[in-house]
Chains A and B, each alone.
Chain A
Amino acid sequence: MSVNDFKTAFHSLTKAKGYVITIVLTLGLTLGALVAMFNLNYQLLIKPLPYQDQERLYLLRGDAFTNGQRDLANMYPYPAAIEAYKKAGEFFDEYALVYFGTDVVRSFTDSPLVATSYVTPEYLQLANVSMALGRSFNKDEGFESQVPVVIISYELWQSLFNGSADVLDKTMQFGEVDFKIIGVTSQHFIEPQLMGPGRLTQVWLPWDYNVIAPRYRVWGMFNINQYLVGKLNPELQSSSIEQSISAQLNDIYTRETAGRASFVGTSIEFKLVSYREIILGDSKARVLLLFIGALVLVLIAAANITNLILARAANQQRGMAIKAALGAQKSHLFYLVLAEILLLLLPALFLSLLITFAGIEILKQLAGDLLPRLDELYISGLSLFFAAFSALVLALLFALLVSGQINYSSLNHLLQYSGKGTGIQISSRVRQLLILVQVMLTGILIAVSLHILQQSMDNIKQPLGFASRDIYQVQLNNGTQRDRPVSEQKNNLTAIRDVLLAHPKMENVSITSDFPITSDKIISWFSYLSVDPDFVQQRQALLTLVDENFLNILGAHWLEGRHFNKENFQTESTVVIVNETFAHQLELDGKVLHKRYYLLNSDKREFPYEIVGVILDFNLPGRTEIPRMFVPQASTRFPRLLLQLKPHQELTKADLNELMASVNSQYKVSELRSMDNAHQLLIARDKLSVGLTLVLSIIALSLASIGIYGVLSYTVQLRKFELGIRMAIGASPDKVFWQILKDNLAPVMVGLVFGFIVLIAFWLWMQQTTFSLQTTTLGWLLPPVLILLLTAVTSLLSVWHIIRKPANHVLRGH
């Protein structure tokens, strides 16, 4: 390959601007998407975590079992965590405790809610923390030291303190304690996201100040979000450590819960899970799917480009024939083709890198809650190499494919017949295969996109099964009140409700433990109803503690029975309301009114609860309705309120804090969200899916249009003279069009069939994963209809310039 080849190729390309733009855009966009997904996959699946000895970092998690069946996942008693911490030196080189929670900053009037982590000093050291200001925790601020200091994140420093340089002199109040700010983490600190993507700590506090109430720090109560983490001793096997620690802690657990019937047959199993595994979570399938999707786009683009390059080669046959006549070998023609393709791929490569960069930024903005480690994402050297390598491979493949189609010996015939009506018949099998591949890939991509689109649209349009206008969900932080007797806490909540009810803006108020629309970050509790007191025949349901106003505010629809009354709530009567789904689980015919069941985890579990009402299911969008039960009781562990304001009224966090302070100043609003807003958050992912799938479908259809048009115009180009002959002997323009369409439909139909088979296989594979995708008739039918329509339109376009002119123009090559 010589410089002259590039000069010739450049000169030739300057006369084919449309061709150049099409190829550069097509390849640039799709290669950019592929490189972005490669980068993401490498980042998540292959690249080591950015911590020293990252392969040795582990977290101890526990699951509760009853008679060999797992009851509670990822929960264990608080004392077990402490015991494990004390023994950790036997298997960890470095170790720490951590509890993940949230709290309100009481020193600000609007009580901002912050994500907190309560840690022993080693936790941040294990994560190689770097500081922007101040220092990290030291040994003196460790376990059982009770030193009130905090470290805040860089982002919190900017948002809450405006990045002021004197932040280290300031304090933050949590509960009744003022904590001195001793450090600000660096902007570049990568916190290990052990609680899932997007959950980033804003305030680190010492472990001693964790908000687990004293009555939950016993062997009989199971807590979540508390962990022992550490750097595993490299000489020990994790399985043996798991067995040893499980045995030791279970001994203590059994001893401490002896004599209590509900703990008979229960045990805790401890497992060491690597940081990598926890941080990756279930993202592996997601990112691989994204990579496959991008790869499919590239394949479609490659088929497109092959079509276009072949069509161009067909146009350039005469020039090649002259070169061959002057002594050019087949290799010379190959290098000429390669030079032209390389010149096209250079700008495409540049564009792809821009797209990659943009794709990374978009991912960081939109997918922070869905995918882990996005804050570490950048264009790596490996990604650059992958981009260049892919471009080079594609260039070689294109050049080989095109030059392989040129019949070198037949080039001479072109000149022999002086261009009077002869043409080279290049393999129709390749043409058919290109159309087939194009159609198959496009059909698959559009079908999957349409199914996702339709599912997302259904979720967006689905009405909530309850009222949402003027209703607000209020999460409370009860500060030091959590350590007070339960009865006192309940009285406080009732008093707060009464104060709020008296407010002129308020329509109704309810005390509850849960909201019908919850984010993943809010804890929901499950419990059991059983016909027998030993809970052999138990059925699980989401337990919500409510007062007599809750279901009225929501406008719940009743199948039968009644709501709780005031007395039920005040006396915590042994009555329960269930939803339709749970009713059918309890009894096949759903007739459960006035029947009695024992409630697990109740203070009155020896007394059966009477079902006094059955309501219709809530039907949250995109979620299968779960079994629910409601019990009249005030929740003190996670106190929440449901407010119904009068129309067009508003109340702020500060307003509510002021009102609650009249009862007890410890009660603050940690989160205030309208039900409509919660609904929008619920369907936010669906809205994103709609946008993404629409874009993807449009891109796929556009690429398919270009590709199918490319191969059809190439096919028509080859058949030009044949079509001229047909016109000469009397074929009318519409007959020529129908001939072309009929010939094109054969590989299109085969491509659709293959695409359908692949889709079925893909759908079957999805059943094995955690993904669910409802298929719809429209999702199956629309892609082939679109593609058939596309084929008809592109067939017409490709043959238009022939059939709209007299036959002689074609025969004489005008």
Chain B
Amino acid sequence: MQQLTLKMTGITKVYSTEDMDTHALRGIDLEIYKGDFVSICGPSGCGKSTLLSLLGLLDMPTSGQYCIEEKDVSNLSLSEAAFIRNEKIGFIFQSFNLIDELSVFDNIALPLRYRREKVSEKDIHKKVMECLQIVDMSHRAQHKPNQLSGGQQQRIAIARALVGSPALLLVDEPTGNLDSRNGDAVMEMLQQLNMNGTTLCMVTHDPRYADMATRKLHLLDGKIIDTQNLAEVVG
């Protein structure tokens, strides 16, 4: 039986301003199991990025329940949310979001330095070099991000997301700023990670890449309108 990694029940998100309320998500129910590769698609403004933010505890839902590995994380404090993010979730962003002032090594090591239980420098070094090897960037450990190409930066971002051995990888349009060749390379890497057991949830506009997932969610106006189990389809 597959292990449930996360579960959302009746999740809504409303952005309120002086003039109006914007319902970004309306009653999302979602289950993601260990080893899943879920892609989330939909037109602009449908709530994909909002859903991903809530999944990654970058924001809090307006209502509903959200559990990660059976722990209710719907109403965590900012410190607790940061802790869960650090321990259980890895992020890969569209624009890489590496810190220019830090070297590649230090960028990847950053999540480990935020651990509550102090990680020794020796262990940090070991894990970082392992992740660099996975993404085939060991030879660039001391470079700065602005010395790398877009594809190389995204690979570093993947390494950073993996270094903490997260339960879930959240990927926000990973190929949006890359050419097709680099985009393919990055997607190949993600697929490989999934095949090795990493649970992925990816937002993408590109139908080719969306079809690489085992499950595809279609969002429209803040609701999941369609779920395709591509593994079953392919199977």
Contact = CB atoms under 8 A, between A and B. Distances in A.
A186 to B, nearest CB: 67
Interface in B82-137: 82-83, 85-87, 91, 93-95, 97-100, 110-111, 114-115
Contact-residue size bin, chain B (C-beta under 8 Å from the other chain): 20 to 34
B79 A420 contact: no
A20 B153 CA distance: 42
Given A422-B95, A729-B85, A729-B160, A806 B58 contact: yes
B145 to A, nearest CB: 11
B60 interface: yes
Interface string B163-190: 0100000000000000000000000000
Query: Which of A734, A735, A806, A812 has the largest number of chain B CB atoms within 10 A?
Result: A806
A146 B19 CA distance: 95
Contact-residue size bin, chain A (C-beta under 8 Å from the other chain): 20 to 34
A565 interface: no
B153 to A, nearest CB: 13
B59 interface: yes
Interface string B49-92: 10001001111100000000000000000110111011100010
A728 B91 contact: yes
Contact of A732 (B59, B78, B97): B78
A673 interface: no
Interface stretch (A122-130, A403-411, A719-727, A759-767): A719-727
Given A417-B95, A420-B95, A728-B58, A806 B81 contact: yes
Given A808-B58, A808-B59, A728 B100 contact: no
Contacts of B93: 421
B59 A730 contact: no
A212 to B, nearest CB: 81
Contacts of A806: 57-60, 78, 81
B12 to A, nearest CB: 16
Contacts of A808: 53, 58-59
Nearest to B60: A806
Interface in A74-108: none
B83 A730 contact: yes
B99 A730 contact: no
A128 B159 CA distance: 89
Contacts of A733: 78-79, 82
Given A726-B110, A729-B85, A803 B78 contact: yes
Nearest to B164: A730
Query: Which of A421, A731, A732, A809 has the largest number of chain B CB atoms within 10 A?
Result: A732
A730 B95 contact: no
Given A725-B99, A803-B78, A806-B78, A732 B58 contact: no
B94 A420 contact: yes
A734 B86 CA distance: 14
A811 to B, nearest CB: 7
A338 B95 CA distance: 35
B110 A729 contact: yes
Contacts of A805: 78
A680 interface: no
A90 B12 CA distance: 106
B97 A425 contact: no
A735 B110 CA distance: 12
A333 interface: no
A730 B85 contact: yes
A722 B99 CA distance: 6
Contacts of B57: 806
Given A420-B95, A421-B95, A728-B91, A735 B78 contact: no
A804 interface: yes
A615 interface: no
Contacts of B98: 725
Given A726-B110, A808-B58, A421 B97 contact: yes
A807 interface: yes
Contacts of B86: 729-731
A727 B85 CA distance: 9
A805 to B, nearest CB: 8
Contacts of B114: 726, 729-732, 735
Query: Which of B56, B58, B81 has the largest number of chain A CB atoms within 10 A?
Result: B58
A672 B91 CA distance: 86
Contacts of A734: 79
A726 B85 CA distance: 11
Contacts of B49: 812
Nearest to A804: B78
A728 B60 contact: no
B91 to A, nearest CB: 5
A730 B87 CA distance: 8
A732 B82 CA distance: 5
Interface in A772-812: 803-809, 811-812
A691 B17 CA distance: 49
B56 A728 contact: yes
A562 B84 CA distance: 87
A812 B53 CA distance: 10
A729 B56 CA distance: 10
Nearest to B91: A728
Contacts of A420: 94-95
B205 to A, nearest CB: 13
A421 B93 CA distance: 10
A808 B59 CA distance: 6
A507 B158 CA distance: 96
A420 B172 CA distance: 12
Contact of A730 (B53, B82, B100): B82
Nearest to A730: B86
Nearest to B98: A725
A809 B50 CA distance: 11
A809 to B, nearest CB: 7
B24 to A, nearest CB: 11
Nearest to A736: B82
A596 to B, nearest CB: 82
Interface of A: 417, 420-422, 425, 721-722, 725-735, 803-809, 811-812
22 contacts: A417-B95, A425-B100, A725-B99, A727-B82, A728-B56, A729-B86, A729-B114, A729-B160, A730-B86, A730-B111, A730-B115, A731-B114, A732-B78, A732-B114, A735-B82, A735-B114, A804-B78, A805-B78, A806-B60, A807-B82, A811-B58, A812-B53
Q: Which 6 A-B pairs have the closest CB atoms?
A: A730-B86, A808-B58, A808-B59, A732-B82, A808-B53, A730-B114
Given A728-B91, A729-B85, A806-B58, 10 more contacts: A725-B97, A729-B91, A730-B111, A732-B83, A733-B79, A735-B82, A803-B78, A806-B59, A808-B59, A809-B59
